[in-house]
């Protein structure tokens, strides 16, 4: 190589490295959000196969605002905390209730929503032919009933601790997701189903089922990250704060949680 070629070579290398550094520097971090894909209106898969719902839109908004990309992957609810702990996902944004047992395993953002549990029963033909609830809230959870819950939810824990452990003779049937419980309810395999109110509402909206009562657990939702992942926790908390201070928050709430 003569001197000119060496010079050209050096300049080219410099340019390539420069471009690599610039593009590397501009690369946004990517965080993987694990969701239960059957938990409307917070997280579910729409008709086109795309993840959607309140929590999905919130996390995407926060990502745009705080400068990170989000990849959304469906995970079985019952395995979602272990999946986070081993590092296969970086956060959980999927209607998760903050409670002391989970706080030992993950770190939660500031709470963003509050719910109570709802008791859902099937609608049957009444005497005059009109559709009526098969049970009221008392008879729905009375001794002898079989109650459907999603495995690993606060509904399961509540019924276990407040009814079964106190001697009430009910049976719990556990499902991997809540919509499977609703399918079984509609064909009479279970007597009622218990889940978070907003999810119950969206499940009964287009089915022959209805909510006959509420259990006032007053649960609060937060987004979960691995214990000690303060970097992501701070990004999520700051993003949530900005979102809640912007008109977009009310739009999302009306679209998914109140208006719908
Ligand atoms: N909020 C309840 C819980 O944390 C039910 C959650 C079910 N959420 C879901 N994405 N499946 O246990």
- Best probe residue, ligand 1, of 83, 155, 196, 257 (max atoms within 8 Å of C-beta): 196
For the Cβ of 223 lying below 6 angstroms from any atom of ligand 1, the answer is no
For the Cβ of 34 lying below 6 angstroms from any atom of ligand 1, the answer is no
What are the residue ranges spanned by the domains of the chain? 30-114+221-258, 115-218
Cα(84) to ligand 1 centroid in Å equals: 15
The pLDDT of residue 258 is 84
Q: Check for a shared fold between 30-114+221-258 and 115-218.
A: yes
Tens digits of residue pLDDT in 150-208: 999 999 999 999 999 999 999 999 999 999 999 999 999 999 999 999 999 999 999 99
**pLDDT at 220 > cutoff 80:** yes
The pLDDT of residue 129 is 87
Secondary structure in 3-state letters for the chain: CCHHHHHHHHHHHHHHHHHHHHHHHHCCCEEEEEECCEECCCEEECCCCCEECHHHHHHHHHHHHHCCEEEEEECCHHHHHHHHHCCCCCEECCCCECCHHHHCCEEECCCCEEEEEEEEEEEEECCCCCEEECCCHHHHCCCCCEEEEECCCHHHHHHHHHCHHHCCCCEEEEECCHHHHHHHHHCCCCCEEEEEHHHHHHHHCCCCEEEEEEEEEEEEECCEEECCCHHHHHHHHHHHHHHHCCHHHHHHHHHHHHCC
The pLDDT of residue 15 is 57
pTM for this structure? Answer: 0.89
For the Cβ of 57 lying below 6 angstroms from any atom of ligand 1, the answer is no
How much of the chain exceeds pLDDT 70, in percent? Answer: 89
CATH level 2 (architecture), domain 115-218: 3-Layer(aba) Sandwich (3.40)
| Residue identifier of the C-alpha nearest atom 8 of ligand 1 | 95
Fold of the domain built from segment(s) 30-114+221-258: D-Maltodextrin-Binding Protein; domain 2 (3.40.190)
């Amino acid at each position: 190589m003569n001197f000119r070629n060496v010079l050209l070579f050096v300049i080219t290398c410099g340019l390539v490295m420069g471009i690599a550094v610039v593009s590397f520097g501009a690369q946004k971090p990517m965080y993987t959000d694990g969701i239960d894909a059957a938990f409307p209106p917070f997280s579910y898969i729409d008709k086109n196969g795309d993840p959607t719902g309140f929590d999905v839109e919130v996390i995407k908004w926060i990502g745009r605002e705080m400068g990170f990309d989000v990849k959304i992957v469906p995970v079985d609810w019952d395995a979602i905390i272990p999946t986070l702990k081993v590092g296969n996902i970086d956060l959980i944004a999927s209607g998760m209730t903050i409670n002391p047992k989970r706080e030992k395993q993950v770190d939660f953002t500031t709470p963003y929503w509050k719910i109570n549990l709802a008791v859902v029963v099937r609608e049957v033909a009444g005497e005059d032919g009109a559709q009526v609830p098969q049970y009221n809230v008392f008879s729905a959870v009375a001794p002898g009933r079989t109650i459907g819950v999603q495995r690993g939810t606060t509904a399961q824990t509540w019924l276990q601790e407040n009814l079964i452990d106190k001697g009430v003779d009910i049976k719990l049937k556990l499902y991997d997701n809540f919509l499977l419980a609703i399918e079984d309810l509609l064909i009479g395999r279970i007597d009622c189903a218990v889940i978070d109110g907003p999810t119950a509402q969206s499940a009964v909206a287009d089915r022959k089922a209805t909510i006959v009562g509420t259990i006032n657990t007053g649960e609060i939702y937060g987004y979960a990250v691995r214990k000690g992942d303060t970097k992501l926790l701070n990004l999520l908390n700051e993003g949530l704060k900005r979102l809640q201070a912007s008109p977009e928050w009310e739009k999302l709430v009306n679209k998914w949680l109140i208006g719908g």
